[in-house]
Amino acid sequence: MHALQNIFPRSLALLLLVALVAATGCETIRENPKTSIGAGAGAAAGGLAGGMIGRNTTGVVVGGLIGSLAGGAIGYYLDRQDRTRAQAVSQTAYDPSQGTVVRVEQVQAQPNPVRLGETINILATYTLLTPHSEQATLVRETREIRHNGALVANPTTEFSRANGTFTSALPITIPSRAGRGAYEVTTTVAAGDRVSRDTTTFTVN
């Protein structure tokens, strides 16, 4: 596992752009202005996040923390490529006649359990393959978190991605007044009309 690369602070102009995109693009952000995105939210930590880097498209993170997670913070989006297109094709026996294929392989929340005030990393590993090896595809990742059945987070990222297998992480800092107990995470990855999802759980102590 490669060492986690440092995430350097973005420029003031980019931070202002992030705030503008978030404030105008999501009802939950407008209703909960204390939700933070990017700066001050902490970076992914631990072995599972090793080798990840921050994307220049961090400002595309849209969505908020509500309910028992209101007042928390969403960190910089991180990702890494685990397999090249050739490796992913071999792993999945992909054939171009299948068209675009999206397959979520694993969703994790680490560390688990997590304490109030700590940062948890919501990770997703998935494969994206298209008939054209050089084609970049618009991908949307949505992470929905529920506590006692109520939606408390729905951050979404959207960007163009090459073919291959990837692991992405979105760090979320749990507010000090968050509800304790079990949380359910559903991560959905969509490319055009192809959708794949998986779930996991974590506990706040």
We report the CATH number of the domain holding residue 105 as: 2.60.40.3880
The tens digit of pLDDT for each residue in 122-165 reads 999 999 999 998 889 999 999 999 999 999 999 999 989 999 99
Indicate whether 4 belongs to any domain. Answer: no
Compute the distance between CA of residue 37 and CA of residue 77 in angstroms, rounded to an integer.
10
Q: For the ranges 24-33, 112-121, 152-161, 164-173, which has the lowest average pLDDT?
A: 24-33
Position 2 confidence tier, pLDDT thresholds 50, 70, 90 = very low
Compute the distance between CA of residue 189 and CA of residue 157 in angstroms, rounded to an integer.
10
pLDDT at residue 51 tops 80: no
Domain assignment of residue 139, given as a range: 12-204
The tens digit of pLDDT for each residue in 180-203 reads 999 999 999 999 999 999 999 999
Indicate whether 5 belongs to any domain. Answer: no
Compute the distance between CA of residue 152 and CA of residue 155 in angstroms, rounded to an integer.
10
How confident is the model at residue 20, as a pLDDT?
38
Split into its structural domains, the chain has a count of: 1
